Amino acid sequence: MKKEEKTNVCRVLDGKKIPYTLHTYEPDATMSGAQIAGILGEDPKKVFKTLVTQGKSGAYYVFVVPVEAELDLKKAAKACGEKAVSMIKQKELLPLTGYVHGGCSPIGMKKQFPTFVHETAAGFEKMFVSAGKVGYQIELKPDDLFNVVRCKTADIVGE
């Protein structure tokens, strides 16, 4: 384990007095979400990744899905009322959100975009999302995430 430092996500949660547990691990650029879940000793269904898309209208949307799942772009478009959505280019992520690839969190982005979390999250006591830095994960109650990000749940992954 590496030395923990507060991330912007931690500061946002602290400011709203939302309880969480910060987990750190030594990152590796080739690490998959399932491997990260294994390091955390957690079911990959409880560990979520944050994906940023742009709709046909030009608006941006954030989708939070289990690490082993794939975002279904048609279901995602339907959830946010767009004709179509597509993933943004990796180089656009940092200027748009303030986060790098592999460390993107739905909490504490530069601007709050409409956010949708896969509906399975609501059934868990705790879930994990990036803490805003590669090698950092936040464990919190789904309801706390839903409240701080004001997101909606939806069926947004492929079969």
Q: Is 7 exposed, middle or buried (0-12, 13-18, 19+ CB in 10 A)?
A: buried
Q: Which residues contact 133 (CB under 8 A, 6 or more apart)?
A: 7, 103
Sign of the dihedral through C-alpha 6, 8, 14, 17: negative
Banded model confidence at residue 3, pLDDT cuts 50, 70, 90: low
CATH 3.20.20.70, domain 8-154, yes or no: no
Comparing 87 with 4, which gets the higher pLDDT?
87
* Res. 2: pLDDT tops 70: no
Q: Tell me the whole-structure pTM to 2 decimals.
A: 0.94
Q: Partners of 154 in the beta sheet?
A: 118
- Tell me, what's the pLDDT at 29? 73
CB 36, CB 25: distance < 8 Å: yes
Q: What is the pLDDT of residues 88-127, one digit of tens each?
A: 999 999 999 999 998 999 999 999 999 999 999 999 999 9
Q: What does R_g of the chain's alpha carbons equal in angstroms?
A: 15
CB 140, CB 19: distance < 8 Å: yes
